Structure 1
Amino acid sequence: MLQSKIPATIITGFLGAGKTTIIRSMLQNADGKKIALIINEFGDLGVDGDVLKGCGAENCTEEDIVELTNGCICCTVADDFIPTMEKLLEREERPDHIVIETSGLALPQPLVAAFNWPEIKSQVTVDGVVTVVDSAAVSDGRFAHDHDKLDAQRQEDESLDHESPLEELFEDQLTAADMIVLNKADLIDEIKLDQVKASVQNSIERKPAFVVARNGIVPSDVLLGLGVGSEDDLATRKSHHEKHHHDEHSDDDHEHHHHHHDHDEFESFVVELGVVKKPEEFCVGLSELIQEYGILRLKGIVHVPDKAMRLVIQAVGARVDQHFDRLWNADEEKSSKLVVIGLHDIEQQKIASAIKGLI
């Protein structure tokens, strides 16, 4: 029965882990498979969709890329994701494989559960959940886990009965995984990489496969074809929220209960700019602003006046990466837009003004 269904791979991971880079590489090396891609962008501008549309993979055309921009996929399963899947399955030429990239802020569990809905279960199976980890960030102590320290804090503070939302979210993404990609391994040495793997493995009870990736390169035959059927294994993938409440929810109720994972902790906003004449200096300035204002993630498309191609800017932490991805289309407005993601108290106006001051 599994073989008669279309396999779907869910790719999740925290902000800046490198999901888009891995998917771009996968599309360019898919060995002729026709891949449909569903992207759940967090923010007001579907930057990742634009980036992936520029990858040039013949087997994944623009009509095969669907963006869900109405909010976190785990909170809009019934209203957004299910209808999108149904439309995809109604196509005359159905895909060989479906790849779903979640927002960095999404819980994978409700999405996996959605594949048990009757409209979906008879036609699609979850080939596997792949969680991408920024190894360098974990090695630096960001989103790492120290249970002993947390237990000590609980002893000292009776009001502290749960971990921070960021840490819970990271652990929930790891718990859902059938494969964990330790990405950005090129930025740390082997000893630190071994420590990261041990830290990640010790934070979860399940035993997923581990793959080490450098520069976001993972062969498509490694990511695709896991054949897990993850939707039939929900019991071992419970999120912190489910564990805390010990409730048995029906699939229809599942996404409603997950509104409690607090997206109010995060905010995103778009900064629209003019042309950027000196991109190198601009990126240096962005790096400084990221550190000054505690920006979690920054990404966007930039118009450089003397260049025929769009400049893509991606930043996590103080690292700012840039590359030209494709030519501007004839009917496309040449403009510069950046999405900024930070915690709820991020100073939007100051940051927007500071970014505009860089050009």
Structure 2
Amino acid sequence: MSDLSKVPVTVVTGFLGSGKTTLISNLIRNSGGRRLAVVVNEFGTLGVDGEILKGCAIPDCPAENIVELANGCICCTVADDFIPTVEALLALDPRPDHILIETSGLALPKPLLRAFDWPAIRSRITVDGVVALADAEAVAAGRFAPDVAAVDAQRAADDSIDHETPLSEVFEDQIACADLILLTKPDLAGPDGVVAARAVIAAEMKRKVPVIEVAEGAADPRVLLGLGAAAEDDLDARPSHHDGHDDHEHDDFDTVVVEMGEIADPADLTRRIEDLARARDILRVKGYAAVTGKPMRLLVQAVGSRIRYQFDRPWAADEPRRTRLVVIAEHDRVDEAAIRAGLGA
């Protein structure tokens, strides 16, 4: 790559828990000889995904090439966060061959694409492609339209009524902006669920875009990288619910960070998260727990009531053994006291 060529950037978008971090972890380990850099944008103050990715660092993507921007949306803080971060990555020696941007699960990708037109960077980088992840099980279950049958009936009765929900708007914007859609967790959805999810996605797509099934983030980098879309020059083909607006709000969603001491039993924490997800429609829980008598830190990842946990690394000698979880839900479902009580804090 010559110094005068633009560095390609892949924007990885997708709703909360769709598997973005798992996908990027796989790309880091299987970069095909490319020297990568990664920007991770978290919704909330507790950064989890960036730390997971730094644990995957290899010579082609060392830890200093992985930057986390927490507690914000990079497309809303372009001058303060996004531009300086990109400039710092482009100044690395050696310069990255490819940059991956993992957006927040609640991010709208199109405003981020507009940021690539900023004078400071537009001659130096290009959006190679937007890769959108969709959780097959969640899509098939109608999670982005809480009562699909009722919505369809109301639309048939009155075309003037706007039945969009915050969840469906984010999902539709992410799909509409994509150059490639990865249908994740097909094993959990099952064959019928995959067919249903594909039908939902097809109904939302405004242009022909490939849809590929991917399990555990195992996607071939030869398929994901090198799309050559130059998406920043193709914005009109990527409709958004927020077209015509100068900004967009994230007030529909909120986070609560819960801190507590050691826990005695991971199974009990799992049960509490499941109960809380069902009672308060929690979208996402992620973070770390200290388990009494265990030298390893417990990584906790929950999408709704579906929970995965594993011991990921030993606690560092100078690291306080504590449990820290970030809980994400729609704003009107966030009751901080109830969430803390539900988790036993």
Corresponding residue number in structure 1 for 2:174: 173
CA distance in 2, matches of 1:146, 1:233: 34
Alignment match of 2:261 (pick from 271, 274, 277): 274
Q: Is the 8 A contact 1:314 1:320 kept in 2?
A: yes
Alignment match of 1:318 (pick from 278, 299, 305): 305
Corresponding residue number in structure 2 for 1:353: 341
Aligned-residue offset at 1:188 = 2.1
Letter in 2 for 1:312: L
**Secondary structure, counterpart of 2:27 in structure 1:** helix
**Secondary structure, counterpart of 1:60 in structure 2:** coil
The root-mean-square deviation of aligned C-alpha atoms, in Å, is 2.4
- 1:21-71 Cα distance to aligned partner (Å, 9 max, x none): 111122122233221110110012111111222224342222111111241
Corresponding residue number in structure 1 for 2:319: 332
Corresponding residue number in structure 1 for 2:217: 216
Given the superposition, is the C-alpha separation of residues 194 and 331 from structure 1 closer, same or farther in structure 2, using an over 3 Å criterion? same
Question: Aligned residue pairs: how many?
Answer: 343
Q: Is the 8 A contact 1:127 1:229 kept in 2?
A: yes
Alignment match of 1:303 (pick from 290, 304, 326): 290
Corresponding residue number in structure 2 for 1:258: 247
Q: 1:15 aligned to 2:16?
A: yes
Q: Is the 8 A contact 1:138 1:196 kept in 2?
A: yes
Unpaired runs of 5+ residues, structure 1, are: 246-255
Matches within 5 A, 1:51-200: 51-144=52-145, 150=151, 153=154, 160-161=161-162, 163-200=164-201
Q: Is the 8 A contact 1:54 1:326 kept in 2?
A: no
Letter in 2 for 1:31: G
Given the superposition, is the C-alpha separation of residues 177 and 113 from structure 1 closer, same or farther in structure 2, using an over 3 Å criterion? same
**Secondary structure, counterpart of 2:217 in structure 1:** coil
Letter in 2 for 1:53: K
**Secondary structure, counterpart of 2:325 in structure 1:** strand
Aligned-residue offset at 1:149 = 6.2
Q: TM-score, normalised by structure 1?
A: 0.88
CA distance in 1, matches of 2:154, 2:221: 43
Given the superposition, is the C-alpha separation of residues 158 and 232 from structure 1 closer, same or farther in structure 2, using an over 3 Å criterion? closer
Corresponding residue number in structure 2 for 1:253: none
Q: Is the 8 A contact 1:55 1:325 kept in 2?
A: no
Aligned-residue offset at 1:268 = 0.2
Q: Is the 8 A contact 1:54 1:325 kept in 2?
A: no
Q: TM-score, normalised by structure 2?
A: 0.92
Given the superposition, is the C-alpha separation of residues 160 and 42 from structure 1 closer, same or farther in structure 2, using an over 3 Å criterion? same
Unpaired runs of 5+ residues, structure 2, are: none
Q: Is the 8 A contact 1:180 1:208 kept in 2?
A: yes
- 1:325-353 Cα distance to aligned partner (Å, 9 max, x none): 22333333332100000111211111112
- 1:162-193 Cα distance to aligned partner (Å, 9 max, x none): 62222111100000000100000011222321
Q: Is the 8 A contact 1:266 1:343 kept in 2?
A: yes
Q: Is the 8 A contact 1:269 1:341 kept in 2?
A: yes
Corresponding residue number in structure 2 for 1:341: 328
Q: Is the 8 A contact 2:251 2:331 kept in 1?
A: yes
Q: Is the 8 A contact 2:75 2:115 kept in 1?
A: no
CA distance in 1, matches of 2:274, 2:198: 28
Given the superposition, is the C-alpha separation of residues 141 and 14 from structure 1 closer, same or farther in structure 2, using an over 3 Å criterion? same
